[in-house]
Amino acid sequence: MSLNVTFADRLTKMPPYLFAAIDEMKAEAKRAGKDVINLGVGDPDLPTPPHIIKRLQETATDPANHQYPSYTGMMDFRKSMAAYYKRTRNVELDASKQVLTLIGSKEGVGHIPLAFINPGDTVLVPDPGYPVYGAGTTFANGEQYLMPLLKENGFLPDLDAIPSDVASKAKLMFINYPNNPTAACCDMSFFSKVVDFAKEYNIIVVHDAAYADVTFDGYHAPSFLETPGALDVGIELYSLSKTYNMTGWRIAAALGNADIVSGLGKVKTNLDSGAFQPIQYAGMTALDSGQECVTENNRIYEERRDILVEGLQRLGWNVEKPKATFYIWIEIPKSITSTDMTALLIKESAIVTTPGVGFGKHGEGYIRMTVTTSKDRLIEAVERMAKVSV
Are 149 and 196 members of one domain?
yes
Domain boundary among 288, 308, 342: 288
Decide if 2 is inside a domain. Answer: no
Task: Give me the DSSP letters along 224-282.
Answer: GGGSTTHHHHEEEEEESTTTTT-TTT--EEEEE-HHHHHHHHHHHHHH-----HHHHHH
Are 330 and 215 members of one domain?
no
> Does 259 score more than 70 pLDDT?
yes
Which amino acid appears at position 222 of this protein? P
Query: Cα(first)–Cα(last) distance of the chain, in Å?
Result: 52
> Does 27 score more than 90 pLDDT?
no
Are 278 and 205 members of one domain?
yes
φ, ψ of residue 141 to 5 degrees: the values are 60, 30
Are 36 and 106 members of one domain?
no
For Cα atoms 285, 288, 293, give the angle at the middle one, nearest 5 degrees. Answer: 75
**Does pTM top 0.85 for this prediction?**
yes
For Cα atoms 46, 181, 346, give the angle at the middle one, nearest 5 degrees. Answer: 75
Buried b (16+ CB within 10 A) or exposed e, 269-306: eeeeebbbbbbbbbbbbbbeeebebbeebbebbbebbe
Output the average pLDDT for the chain: 95
For the chain, percent of residues with pLDDT exceeding 90:
90
> What does the pLDDT read at residue 13?
84
Decide if 3 is inside a domain. Answer: no
Decide if 350 is inside a domain. Answer: yes
Distance CA(19)–CA(40), nearest Å, equals 10
φ, ψ of residue 234 to 5 degrees: the values are -155, -175
Number of domains in the chain: 2
Residues 333-390 have pLDDT tens digits of 999 999 999 999 999 999 999 999 999 999 999 999 999 999 999 999 999 999 887 7
Do 192 and 186 touch, CB atoms closer than 8 A?
Answer: no
* Residues spanned by the domain of 256: 50-288
